[in-house]
Chains A and B, each alone.
Chain A
């Protein structure tokens, strides 16, 4: 078994959006849509400010509210805990969009609901997701949490981190090192 997760080092991320552009070309995300994006969170009063820059996307949650509310099973959990949408099962009811605490989903211009796939088509060929492969700061890591020797397992074991909106109960699997 494997449980895929992403670990992003916010100390290194510069918010350059390479992950966003790479996702767009790799997955042909239409113009005007984002499967991943950059969030900047700034606290403090100038000049004493702290900035956290995050590359965000679907969190491929352990308890994905988008999957449990899908009336057709189009949204489902694939091997490795990856949450996917089967396009020709999706009716476009958008309940999953409303169910996602991260607003990570959107209606593709072709009608079905679309989102980050963790580039499962690459991962199953032994490659990393496009965003991880392209990142010029090497701030993004992808791997198997069930493997204690994986990059992601080791990083989470050794570095302080947080996930987004854990209180939503969805158990997100994109982690941010601080």
Chain B
């Protein structure tokens, strides 16, 4: 006789009740009743924010991923991309096995090979290049934390040429501008205390569409708490819809607006005089400098009425120091971007919000030792991305500098590229130049999860495991509260994909550099670092995150401000800039007008996509399968276009885009058009995303280089519309 335990009896009872209550929907999930759910902490990699998450695995299959409540970054709530992250693992278009090219570059014809063959092939060519041209002739482009171990292999190989598009193509101008002013950059996650700001000024920054989790959460909290939002943007962004003041600024004239704001603050003596007196350098010259930039002067440039400029400046002053003029993230717009970032930095300085609640805080970090590796060989030749310090204030390597050197062979030739997790054809401006550089290469290796456009040109493609299938280096985060976080595999890779650390280690072994990887597996490496930091490995594995001690991050908490500039102060007047032959204080240059009848091409982010790498993720592509061309509704009517009509864009250099659907809207100025970046894929391997929407990158054939730091400004392209019939 079988006895029914009380427990199983209760189970049956509950199941019956549930069934009676009409909860068959649960069964209809197709899940056998007693499903086993395992919850594994890790951190996200759909963007670079690195939110901590907990993935649920139901009966061996990925079910969902949620924010880790212990995480100071995401506070238990991932952004839509993070939530849709499991779609990356299940993407049927993923790269599955190592590939070696069989036809011309770009034809996307491959043969599948073993890892051993692929890595031997790469190592052999790298060694040949090193013999003929020196190891420095191998360049590495890498984006994100996953590149850590490859960079290590690179340095061990003897090449200093490592760059990421996140500098010259993204936040570089901002960090340079702030470093020149405060002696420190903004970093990532941005050191902005949006949550406590009483007045938030966004210049082109589209929080909410730009889904940097913590920032959006804090922005929402601030709006909820009644903060005043001021948005200057040629497009009525989502953030603009939360704003008290929306300033429909003419594209390219933000500097004029900034100067006029500073003029109002200084001439009306609304600025934080105490802060400026204590910490300002060259304020008198600066006050004299901004005296001429009246709101009346700015009006014809920006299109913003003088009264509005005055009113918004006074509004900022009213809430100081809890007024935050957001420094933005991708700010390579018009070529004077580092100077504009400096203007933003100075406007913030006038509001005295450095190291203040509601302004900029000083992030805290935990001390975690690095793994003791042997010393790297000293490269025979220095980095070549910025020869002779052509861009004297570039704080990081310039991708486009490496590209240029690859084309010209100067100052020395670059013969091989390894590209990790960045789709250079979409992230660098002017893809023709990138292709020309590729033509000059003896070896192009691409490591990625999906067959990106750049992978289509690779000699060897290495398929990487997704972040849900691998370990990575620790995330030692600089934030309001410091923490150490662990990425660990949640599921196995479905095919023959490998984690980057394994690839880096095996390649090093094939290059004869095995001594640089003294650890046997990644856990040994990670455990060493965790133990060295005095933390418990098991706790970290179980919780995914270990918080560090709270430290003062504002003046309000007792933090003393230091400004590591040459003057030791906030540099309203920059002697370094002057010495290098640049304007010591920001000045305004009117933007180049486009050809008559054309629209300035602007682009930005969508909350459900990251760069060009999430469009084959079925969960995310389902949320937004293609991009649309934002076109002023009145203009659209004149062209006889309505929402949904397809057009192609032709740019000033006669490049014609894919067809893209028009979004005729009252949310954009009539002199520009806007689209979300990253769509319009041309890689045949991306079967799902292929040909959906248009690619802004394709139309960005021109760029202006920032003379201070080498950033490539791309909002200088113009398009005309060609209706698709």
Contact = CB atoms under 8 A, between A and B. Distances in A.
Interface core residue of A15, A42, A137, A139 (most chain B CB under 10 Å): A137
Interface in A134-155: 134-139
Contacts of A161: none
B217 A21 contact: no
B22 interface: yes
A87 B219 CA distance: 41
Contacts of A18: 77-80, 83, 607
Interface stretch (A48-56, A57-65, A95-103, A163-171): A48-56
A23 B219 CA distance: 24
Interface in B595-633: 607-608, 618-620, 622-624, 632-633
Interface in B224-258: 224, 236, 238-242, 246, 248
Contacts of B65: 25
A87 B25 contact: yes
Contact of B241 (A25, A50, A138): A50
A11 B242 contact: yes
Contacts of A27: 29
A23 B23 CA distance: 17
A133 to B, nearest CB: 7
B626 to A, nearest CB: 14
Contacts of B666: 42, 44-46, 49
B623 A47 contact: no
B156 to A, nearest CB: 40
A47 B76 CA distance: 36
Contacts of A20: 80, 623
Contact of A22 (B83, B219, B239, B241): B83
A177 to B, nearest CB: 11
A18 to B, nearest CB: 4
Interface string B67-91: 1000000101111100110100000
A130 to B, nearest CB: 8
A31 B688 CA distance: 12
Interface core residue of A26, A45, A112 (most chain B CB under 10 Å): A26
B431 interface: no
Given A25-B83, A51-B667, A87-B28, A139 B220 contact: yes
Q: Report the interface size class on chain B.
A: 35 or more
B25 A121 contact: yes
Contact of B248 (A12, A46, A137, A138): A46
A144 B221 CA distance: 24
A8 interface: no
Given A87-B24, A117-B25, A138 B623 contact: no
Given A26-B64, A53-B241, A121-B23, A11 B223 contact: yes
Contacts of A39: none
Contact of B622 (A31, A50, A51, A120): A31
Contacts of B77: 18, 133-136
Contacts of B4: none
A14 B220 contact: yes
B669 interface: yes
A94 interface: no
Nearest to B246: A47
A88 to B, nearest CB: 6
Decide if the interface of chain A is mainly helix, strand, loop or mixed: mixed
Contacts of A26: 64
Decide if the interface of chain B is mainly helix, strand, loop or mixed: mixed
A105 B4 CA distance: 41
Nearest to A47: B248
A50 B242 CA distance: 9
A13 to B, nearest CB: 9
A79 B22 CA distance: 10
Nearest to A33: B622
B208 A16 contact: yes
A17 interface: yes
Interface in B18-32: 21-30
Interface string A71-86: 0000010110000111
Interface core residue of B30, B83, B213 (most chain A CB under 10 Å): B83
A126 interface: no
Contacts of B670: 46
B63 interface: yes
Contacts of B474: none
Interface in B152-205: none
Interface string B255-294: 0000000000000000000000000000000000000000
B665 interface: yes
Given A26-B64, A46-B668, A12 B224 contact: yes
Nearest to A137: B220
B29 A21 contact: no
A87 to B, nearest CB: 4
A171 B22 CA distance: 22
Nearest to B607: A16
Contacts of A14: 207-209, 216, 220, 238-239, 242, 607
A25 B64 contact: yes
Given A25-B84, A138-B224, A17 B623 contact: yes
Interface in B656-700: 665-670
Contacts of B248: 46-47
Nearest to B21: A78
B448 interface: no
11 contacts: A14-B220, A18-B77, A42-B665, A47-B669, A49-B666, A51-B241, A85-B25, A86-B25, A121-B26, A135-B77, A139-B220
Interface of A: 9, 11-12, 14-18, 20-22, 24-28, 31-32, 42, 44-47, 49-51, 53, 76, 78-79, 84-88, 110, 112, 117, 120-121, 133-139
Given A17-B608, A21-B83, A112-B28, 9 more contacts: A12-B220, A14-B209, A25-B83, A28-B29, A31-B622, A78-B22, A79-B21, A133-B77, A136-B220
